[in-house]
Each structure stands twice: as structure tokens, then as C-alpha cells.
Structure 1
Amino acid sequence: MKKQIVVSVLAALVFTGCGVTDKHEVVVDNNLDFDRIEVVSVKCADLQSMFGGNDLENVLVFDPQTSQYLVSQLVDDDQDGEPDEFLFQARVKAHSSSTYRLESKENASDLKQVPAVKTFSRFVPERIGDYAWENDKVAFRTYGPEAERLVKDGEPGGTLSSGIDLWLKRVDYSIIDKWYSGNLQQPGYYHKDHGEGYDPYHVGSSRGTGGTGIWENDSLYISDNFTAYRTICTGPLRTTFELDYAPWSQYEVKETKQISLDLGSNFSKFDISISGDIPNDSYTVGITLHEGEGSADIDKDNGAFSHWELIDGVPIGEGIVIDPAMVADGFTTNSNVPDQKQLLVTTHARSKLTYYAGFAWTKSGQVEDEADWAELLQRQAKIIANPLVVQVH
């Protein structure tokens, strides 16, 4: 899949005085026919070159359109103690560009915005080892080793699933800690809507929205719960973490899933590393169809796969977006076995796969109807195929 950000450094250092040691322009270009608000990235190695080794905590992004400094985030992708990416959220009109100013200031901490909304993720040991993540639009979770152990030992309260669960939030602030805390005091708390949303979404042994498997001879083989996790970052603009899965199926498939979620996006990004001698075109991503009462749409040409259904009488759209070049096939399965009615996307993946999985719940106000959801999904496909271009001058 194409890289999401293209960065070129075109100028040398500029001394400005008045507390600003250096400044550079950042131009963000949008070649699509709709406005975009997205998190963009500048390589920290380029910032170090531009700002002469100054502390990157002192780098700010100034928006001339609003005359304000924007929220930014440093990310240490490889966890070596040094930041690798500098993130900020760009707003760019259709077929247009936006210009921002990077500045290094000694009093940067006094000028940085305190974000009203943010991304967040964490391991949840108090709820049998879930891993949960969210932003201002959506929330997700999946299940860990303690939940698996309870099931295999015949103890109550466990969950055996590598599917991806959806939490239907309708507020822009973080709810993960609050809902889990409420569940400790009142079991089942987050299965009821207390005004912020709730979790009515059933996963079971299905793929939920975005779970993986091996499709062979009309059967889907899946892993157990994740065995280990690593939180890479959680901040105002992006949260990223990794999940490891023990070898599974006759092919001894081993997976590491790096999952990230940006502020403002309805879609988590999944970067999967796969090992094992799996058959060609068998690595699969899926969406549960629950009881098969919704509608599914398969668009292999654009790599967009959608399910629209009612949950407790309220519409929700779930979807997967993937590079069309990686798609082998897309189809739905009809089965009387619980949780096995699914929309499945088989892929050409052998060792790596990137895709996006997400949703929109009408009660959140993000979409009004199925046509709105279809447009949101198609826009995501266009965004992946046409990343914003970032140039630093």
C-alpha cells in the first residue's frame, strides 16, 4: 500500500530571534475533490537536520489561518528512546493546499495547546486482559490471554476470540477508563447506554470488524486470543500498539498486528506481519454479518467492503478498506453455525498486509443513513490511494 506521507526537505536553517531559533514552512497538498482533516507526519530526522539538533519538544506548528499553534505529537516508532515522527493535524480544502509554519521556541511548552479530545489505548487487566483503543469518533477492543485461559479451564467469564469488537460511543471524549470502571462496580455496565454509547456488538468466534484468518476449502481457520502486547504511543493525535498471536492452524501461522488509530478517523489501520507457509490467496480479513439481516456491499475494484445493519433498531455501517491490488476475492458466507455468517476478503498477502477497518453508528451523528456510510467508506478508499503530500521548505 502506498505510503501515507511524502516529505521532502528543501531549505536550510533560518535564524529569526525573539525566542524563535528557526522556522520553516510546511505545505500540505490535497489532490482530491473533498476537504480533508487528517494527521500528517514529518520525519524527526529531517527536523533534526533543519533545526540543528535543537530539542524537538520545542518544535511548534503555527497555523496562519487561525493564528494559533496546533496540537502536535512526537512518536518513537521503534521504541529506542528517540522520536521518529512529528505529527500534527492538517486541514486542507479540496484540490488545494494549506501552509503551516514550523518553529523552534525556547518557551514552546507555554504555547502548546492542551487538547480537548485525544486518542487513547491500553491493556485492561481488570477486565481479563482486553486491549481497548479509541479516538474522538470510535472505540474498539480485542481479547487477551487471561480471557482465553478462563474458557480453556472451564471457568466462567472468559472470551475465546481474536475478532475485533466495536464500542459504539456518541461522545468525542475518552470513555474507555470510565466504562471499564463502571463495569467493575456494576457488571455489564458498558452493555447499557448511559448517555455516552454502549457495547451491544456481538463478536463471538466471528471476525467482528477486521479480524483475520485463513480461508481454505470453504472453511475459515482462526487464531486464539493475543498472547502479548506492546503500547507504542498514546497521545492527542495517534495511538499505536502491537499484538502478538501464537502459531495457529496446520500452517503454524504466526501474526503480529500493529494497530493504529488517528484522531478524527473512523478507521483503525492494521499493519500485519505474517509468517508460515500459508496457501496462496488464503489470508483473509472479515466482518461478521451477525444473523444475516443486514446488507453487504463488495467493491473489489476500489478495495471497499461494507456491511450495513441494525443493532437494537439503530443503523450502523462496518467496513474494510484495502489496496485493490492485494484483493484476491470478496464474498459472503451463509451458515447455520453461530457467528459464521461473514463477509470475507481473501488477499494475496504472504508476509505483510495493510488494511483499514472501522465503522460509523448513526446515533453518534457521524452518518445519517446507508448512503452517508457508503460515501464515508469510498472516501476512505480514495484517501488511502491519494495520501496528502507534505513538503517542508
Structure 2
Amino acid sequence: MNIKKLSFLVIVSLICSCSNDKGSTIITIKNSLEFEREFETVELSKSDLNIENLDNICILNTETNTLEVVQTVDNDDDGNLDVVLFQPKIKANATAKYEVVLIPESEQTETQEWCYSRFVPERTDDYAWENNRVAFRTFGPVAQKMIEDGVKGGTLTSGMDAWLKRVEYPIINKWYARGVIEKGAYHKDIGEGLDNFHVGVSRGVGGIAVKTDSTYSVSKNFTAWKTITTGPIRTSFILDYADWDANGKVIKERKHISLDYGQNLTRFNVELSGTDKVSVGLTSHKKDGEVTTNKEEGWMSYWEPFDDSELGQGVIITNPKRIIAFDNYLTDRKDESNLYVQSNVSRAFEYYAGFGWKKSGQFETKTDWNNYLSRFSNCLQNPLEVNVVTPSK
């Protein structure tokens, strides 16, 4: 991992001396939609930029003459940086230009790790992740074994838990530290939010299932984890699962999970075999929420009363053409009521899932939340158009 941000003063002194003598690499980004776009991550590889080493790379906004916040990532854990990330802000129907500049690492300053994740052994074996807007966690093999052995305090689920934060700064380490001192302390809101979202065996916010006739089969807890990156723009990690049974089918599952700055939705890229159909779920809790589905745009929403506030959950299927059906599955069995979207699946399947809590001040109404999902989907279907022109060598 390498996290970088530079001050304007550094730019003034170093831009001229550190640019490529044979010409600069220019990145042109076009927004073809009718609204301004921000908090969308552009990802560029070494081959995209025609550069062999990303250690000193920075990106200059040519209009404002300021440097973008960037994050470089070693995706394959081979010790070499593979991609650079940044989030341009581009007006409606507009184009923006950026220049790649090289600045010595000694002149760079670190930025805030807004996007963070880690394994949490002090709370059994959770894996938790967050950005400046939302936080999540899910549960590992020790928590599963505790349930299977009848030990109090375990958790058996592959559902995704939501931590309802209402501050921008990171809270994962702080809340877990409170939990060590006082058991369950993060179930109380002392001004930052709390964990009052019940998962149980439900799908939580975006867990998956395989449907056979009218029955849904699910995996158990994750068995292994691997953190890829944390930083100002993205955290990403991998969760592996033991093979699981879906009415005689052996399902193999691995999740590549990432969360970017400024977004309420986690991206799930799932490697899946043993089935050609998969369902993504949102827990229905007390079954008193309002369901909205939009097959054309590829999303579903569940807006519910939630303690002294309201909560919206949502799923967006990256490729809406794969959607088969929606199912508001209600049952008397504890925690098994979920709103599902079923989709065709090949070896890899991508979707986004997340939430918006009214008390955070991010969304006031169901309409606000649904509009967010619709706009997010619109951006997925009309990605920023990125063109890179590199100097000849």
C-alpha cells in the first residue's frame, strides 16, 4: 500500500523538474451525464500509463493546478504497485484534463485513511470495513465454531452486518476498543452512531443465497481473509468460504470486497461455481419496511422504521440484464425474511450493497435513498470515459 497527497507548495517547486522530459502523460475524462459527478474512482494500471514504476506517481488537475489525492495499490501482493486510484470531480456534460507528474517520495505527505478494514481477533474473529459514510462487518470461523459447540457469544452467519456511523472519521478501532473495556459498548450511541442492526442468519446487507424451488440455501462464516489495501480512496480485501450445499449442488465461493470514499455501497465481486443463478438479499427485520424494485436500472430498496430513526438498504446489480426476478420472501422462521434479487451468474458476479441511515443526516426520506440508488446505477451504466495519451519513448 502507498498513500499519497501533496501540497500546492510542493507542486510549485517540483513540477517542472520532475515531469517527463519527453512529454507528459495526459488523462482526459469525460462525463456524458446531465449532472456533476464525484466520488467515482478512476483506476489506471501501469500499462494504461505506459510507466514501469508507480512509486512516485501523482496526478495534477490542469485546470486548478493542484494535485489530486491518489492511492496506489499492489493488487496481487507481489511487492510491486499495480494501479493508481483517484476520484475526479467533473461537471455535467464536461471534460477534465489531468497530467501525470513524478514527485520524489521524500516530498510526499500521507493522507487520512478514510477507507479502512481489518481482521478483528479481539472480537472473536470479525472482519470489519468502513469509509467516511458507512461501516460493515461479517463473521469468521471461530464465531461459527462457538455456535456449533454451544459456546455463548458465537455467531453463525454469512450475512453482512451494518454499523450505523454518523461521523466522517474512522470508528472501527475506536468502537472495538470500547467493546474490550465494556462488553457491547458499541451497541450504545454516544454521538458517533452504534451497532443496532441485527443480522442473525439473515442476509444482512447484501449476503448471497442460492434458491431451489422456494428454499434459499446459504454459506456459513468466512474461513479465511486477506487485506489488499486501505487508504484515502479505497479499502479492499478477500474472504474465502468453505464449500457449501444448495440442495445437492456444491457451491464454491470467494468474495472480493471493496469500499470507496464517499460511497454508501460496498462492491462485491464474487467468484462462484456450482450454480448458474444466485440471489442477493436484504434483511427485512420486522417486516414493516417499504419495498421498491427497478429491474431496468438493476436495483432494489428496503426502507424501514428503525428504532428512533429510519434506514434504507439497497442492492444494485452491475449488469441489470442478468436479473431474473425480485422476491420479497417473508416467513415466520426467525431472521429468514429477506428481500431478494435473483440473477444469472457466470464464474464472476458483481453487485453493490449498502445502506443509508436517516440519523446520519445523509438521507431524509425513502425518495432520497431511492434516488441515490438510481443515480448510482446510472453512473455504473454510463462510466466516466477515460482516455490516456502517453509520450512516445
Asked whether the two chains share a fold, i.e. TM above 0.5, the reply is yes
CA deviation after TM superposition for structure 1 residue 109, in Å: 4.0
Name stretches of at least 5 consecutive residues in structure 2 with no aligned partner. 1-14
Among candidates 246, 256, 259, match of residue 258 of structure 1 = 256
1:216-267: per-residue Cα shift (whole Å, max 9, x none)?
1211111110000111111111111111111111212110000011111111
1:69-104: per-residue Cα shift (whole Å, max 9, x none)?
222111122222222211111101111122122101
1:379 aligns with 375
Secondary structure of the corresponding residue to residue 35 of structure 1: coil
Structure 1 stretch displaced more, 63-72 or 205-214: 63-72
Among candidates 279, 301, 304, match of residue 306 of structure 1 = 301
1:44 aligns with 46
Could you tell me the percent identity over the aligned residues? 41
Among candidates 205, 210, 214, match of residue 201 of structure 2 = 205
Among candidates 137, 141, 157, match of residue 153 of structure 2 = 157
| Aligned residues of 1:117 and 1:136 also touching (Cα < 8 A) | no
Asked if residue 295 in structure 1 is aligned to residue 290 in structure 2, the reply is yes
1:81 aligns with 79
Q: Quick one: structure 1 residues 382 and 109, their matched pair in 2 at CA, closer, same or farther if it must change by over 3 Å?
A: farther
| Aligned residues of 1:117 and 1:173 also touching (Cα < 8 A) | no
TM score, norm. by length of structure 2: 0.90
CA deviation after TM superposition for structure 1 residue 313, in Å: 2.3
Structure 1 stretch displaced more, 137-146 or 74-83: 74-83
Q: Quick one: structure 1 residues 158 and 386, their matched pair in 2 at CA, closer, same or farther if it must change by over 3 Å?
A: same
Q: Output aligned runs, 1:226-241, within 5 Å.
A: 226-241=222-237
Q: Quick one: structure 1 residues 33 and 117, their matched pair in 2 at CA, closer, same or farther if it must change by over 3 Å?
A: farther
Q: Output aligned runs, 1:1-393, within 5 Å.
A: 17-21=16-20, 23-37=24-38, 38-47=40-49, 49=50, 51=51, 53=52, 55-105=53-103, 107-112=104-109, 114-116=110-112, 118-249=114-245, 250-276=248-274, 278=275, 280-281=276-277, 283-322=278-317, 323-393=319-389
Q: Quick one: structure 1 residues 205 and 195, their matched pair in 2 at CA, closer, same or farther if it must change by over 3 Å?
A: same
Whole-angstrom CA distance in 2 between matches of 1:363 and 1:318: 14
| Aligned residues of 1:299 and 1:305 also touching (Cα < 8 A) | yes
Secondary structure of the corresponding residue to residue 91 of structure 1: coil
Secondary structure of the corresponding residue to residue 56 of structure 1: coil
CA deviation after TM superposition for structure 1 residue 350, in Å: 3.6
1:319-353: per-residue Cα shift (whole Å, max 9, x none)?
00002111111120121111122101111114221
| Aligned residues of 1:272 and 1:352 also touching (Cα < 8 A) | yes
2:10 aligns with none
Secondary structure of the corresponding residue to residue 261 of structure 1: strand
2:12 aligns with none
Name stretches of at least 5 consecutive residues in structure 1 with no aligned partner. 1-15
| Aligned residues of 2:120 and 2:128 also touching (Cα < 8 A) | yes
Report the RMSD for the aligned CA atoms in angstroms. Answer: 1.5
| Aligned residues of 1:69 and 1:111 also touching (Cα < 8 A) | no
Matching residue's letter, 2:46: C
CA deviation after TM superposition for structure 1 residue 65, in Å: 4.1
Structure 1 stretch displaced more, 64-73 or 258-267: 64-73
CA deviation after TM superposition for structure 1 residue 68, in Å: 2.1
